[in-house]
A and B are shown apart, each in its own frame.
Chain A
């Protein structure tokens, strides 16, 4: 296998459930987790005679998504009927946008690469099918299937990227930034486990440097970033293997089973549906006013891509730190609150590397105070970790007060440390002799003894310097 000579090409289709109060075309409540089939009405059950009415809140959220992804907002966009028979679709058609979507031609910059957004359009979610009996959750071997219409009619935005992604890692990084962006503008719960963020990946490979695309396959609906990444990697390996053996990639839709790590074909191109799209006659075209679009644009908060750049420039953080801090909005908010009154680099270290995570445990001002105690030389790093543990147990406590009460202040410049060094030299004549006869490494044993005696309240390097000067 030679991935070096093959270049993966990935495009994503992301479905985002909008967190509107009501469904896309009826007044039913829109939320996850209610008793099955309690959030329904004649409209979302597809009864005869009902007519859809567009949820204005969903339109505004779709426009916000478009603006956040640097898209053009269409002056006019149209809903179509996508026809298919399946139990999750009570009308036997989905109302979706087709050749005139609400958002067009945007982009999102990920780690310096510009990823094109082809389009983002509004549609309605289908009902949820629950396959029961047999192999848990799988349609194959199920004894029966239950339909929960609560999800039917949930507003969805489908975001389609250009085939601009070149590795599973980059695709996941893109998704993470997209997820954060959607969270930041507050349009969705973006919870993959609950299905409010779902992703399909179109995957192909081609000889590195080639300008043409290979035959693509579609990986369906993975419910975590990890499984999606694993699935894409497995599919890329499979395609490279096929091509290297002189075989063809067949256009098909695949499911990746994270348990068995196997790819299974769901349907081939020949079995592809003819959805017989045509304009939905029950709805009039969407024509959002420029004033509305401007109002929504003005209302957008600072977006993660801009924030990542600002973290790097304003706080002088490495790019990777700036990105990691923007994994989710609350993490970035927390970091900014800590960094407001402490050293940014230390704040980033603490926020990203400390477990349990500070963002869930310690008020930002408290962490900032703790970091200041280190920077001012009041406590050492290892003592700071002890104090942090105490703060996790008692988040209302004051770090300086804890240091005072437990006698944890550094003893570097005091006579106390010098006295301890003298004691250790006096109590370890053998080590002293070995050191003086040229065994330099023995100094570490002596440092260890002193450090033990200080219970971490001293800096090991300072202790070593002190020992050397005395010996």
Chain B
């Protein structure tokens, strides 16, 4: 039997496999076939690993399986896979084959998840539309003229389009939650330190976190169960205070949800605001108390973020010099300095160069304290502000993105408009907190994402509330455009 992968959840995959209705190979083939059929237009995947995926599936069919074993997953191309090309969406790493598996890849393999391939992304995760990929943009499955969001646009679109039941992405300033919102899927950024960054090609090291995309909150919890936990290869990773639980139930009584009025006043478009307000009504019907709160410093998160993240990136990306791996020009120049210059000029895209220059500048002697130092102080204040807020409320709700998906090309030449996509997600990264985006309705036919933010390591509380709301909202994650396309 060939299952229809459109709208098929990870739990749905497990049910089919457990019942013996499909084999692991049949399941993988079904996804590969749909990728073959749809992805020429969507460009979610930079590469599939069809043969390796088939072999891994065949092994489970031969040797037996249980749980998540045999369920496919898509990996953002910023996660290292041993021996398989990993580019971070950049020309400068074209052809690079890592010598090791990322921590999350090791865990995914150990759980029996089968990576189907590597998904498209903004170069080095710098962007909010996937248009900054060196390998072409990804199209939004809800409307191919629209961006899928970014930087993990390929992973979000793949899950929305039925090209994978699960995907991993990374979130530095919103790069999981914003594309999840724009593609109508669930995306979760865990607490900083909950998931190992080992093998994640770094952008902003103090902000980067890996997290899952899925069609349901329960699926996202299943994937998070697999990847979360201490990894001795990442000194900033920790063991969670309690294991991730797959949520059940539909009761929000006793839960207080805070809505930061000042943050929302920053420019949320009306359609998004309507869908957001409706989801708050659902929350109240489920028993939650909703109250207004203020996060006055979080309003300054975006400028602080655009000092800290580029500063870290300027150091993280300095190693790409054409010497030991990645891009080697035909004429690298006569001196080592020329080689560095030509390789980096030719290998990096415009947005990456912009951020390297910005980051280098803000760390320079004489400017460090005014820029980087100030940004770090703002970051500390934001962290305290959230801590304070969570003494009064259990969760904070905002839209995940101020807008729905915007047309491809609309913001590509306007960095500030592009950066504004992260307005509501960036404070969460600066504070190191967990946040989820779940679809909460449509505006102009495009999905709107609801963001729920919790205190550090409150993943289970977030997942439980998101699951309850998901049931009440009843969002159909299958894009109408996809359904008609078959």
Interface residues in chain A, defined as those with a beta carbon under 8 Å from any beta carbon in chain B: 42, 45-54, 81, 83, 85, 87, 90-93, 274, 276-278, 281-284
Contacts and interface: CB of A to CB of B under 8 A. Distances in A.
B406 interface: no
Interface string B286-320: 00000000000000000000000001101100111
Interface in B94-140: 96, 98-100, 102
Nearest to A42: B99
B88 interface: yes
A46 B233 contact: no
A42 B324 contact: no
Where chain B touches its partner, the secondary structure class is: loop
A48 B93 CA distance: 9
Contacts of B98: 42, 47-49
B340 interface: yes
Nearest to A284: B235
A282 B208 CA distance: 11
Nearest to A93: B315
Contact of B318 (A53, A54, A91): A91
Given A48-B86, A284-B236, A85 B318 contact: yes
B206 A276 contact: no
A128 B259 CA distance: 56
Contacts of B205: 281-282
Given A49-B200, A278-B372, A281-B312, A42 B236 contact: no
A262 to B, nearest CB: 26
A42 B98 CA distance: 9
Interface string B213-238: 00000000000000000001111100
A282 B80 CA distance: 17
B365 interface: yes
B318 A90 contact: no
Interface string B327-366: 0000000001100100000000000000000001001110
A274 to B, nearest CB: 5
A91 B319 CA distance: 5
B321 A52 contact: no
A281 B207 CA distance: 9
A27 to B, nearest CB: 10
13 contacts: A49-B202, A52-B235, A83-B315, A85-B337, A87-B323, A90-B319, A93-B318, A276-B364, A276-B368, A278-B363, A281-B204, A282-B235, A284-B236
A48 B318 contact: no
Nearest to A147: B323
Give the interface SS of chain A, mostly helix, strand, loop or mixed.
loop
B321 A92 contact: yes
B146 interface: no
Contacts, number: 96
Contact of A50 (B198, B321, B363): B198
Interface residues of B, number: 44
A198 B360 CA distance: 31
Contact of A49 (B199, B204, B360): B199
A38 to B, nearest CB: 15
Q: Which 6 interchain pairs have the tightest Cβ spacing?
A: A92-B318, A281-B206, A276-B363, A281-B205, A49-B199, A48-B201
B197 interface: yes
Interface in B342-401: 360, 363-365, 368, 372
A354 to B, nearest CB: 53
A91 B323 CA distance: 11
Interface string B400-429: 000000000000000000000000000000
A92 B86 contact: no
A53 B232 contact: yes
Contact of B321 (A47, A83, A85, A281): A85
B325 interface: yes
Contacts of A42: 98-100
Contacts of B232: 53
A46 B197 contact: no
A284 B206 CA distance: 11
A48 B363 contact: no
Contacts of A50: 198-199
B236 A282 contact: yes
Kindly name the residue among A45, A46, A278 whose own CB sees the greatest number of chain B CB atoms within 10 A.
A278
A281 B236 CA distance: 9
A464 B258 CA distance: 110
Interface string B184-208: 0000000000000111111011100
A464 B360 CA distance: 86
A382 B340 CA distance: 70
Contacts of A87: 323, 336
Given A274-B364, A281-B205, A284-B236, A51 B197 contact: yes
A276 B235 contact: no
A53 B103 CA distance: 14
A90 B363 contact: no
Contacts of B318: 83, 85, 91-93
Nearest to A43: B233
Given A85-B321, A282-B235, A49 B363 contact: no
B363 A83 contact: yes
Contacts of B201: 48-49
Nearest to A85: B340
Contacts of B198: 49-51
Contacts of A274: 364-365
A87 B93 CA distance: 19
A314 to B, nearest CB: 48
A48 B360 CA distance: 19
A277 B367 CA distance: 12
Given A48-B98, A92-B315, A276-B314, 6 more contacts: A92-B318, A274-B364, A276-B360, A278-B368, A281-B312, A284-B235
Nearest to A274: B365
B373 to A, nearest CB: 10
Nearest to A273: B365
A278 B311 contact: yes
A85 B234 CA distance: 25
A282 B202 CA distance: 10
A83 B314 CA distance: 9
A85 B319 CA distance: 8
A166 to B, nearest CB: 32
Nearest to A25: B235
B296 to A, nearest CB: 26
A274 B319 CA distance: 17
Contacts of A47: 98-99, 324-325
Given A93-B315, A283-B235, A46 B324 contact: yes
A369 B294 CA distance: 88
Contacts of B197: 51, 282
A274 B235 CA distance: 28
Contacts of B312: 278, 281
A53 B235 contact: yes
Nearest to B87: A48
Contacts of B320: 48
Nearest to A280: B205
A48 B336 contact: no
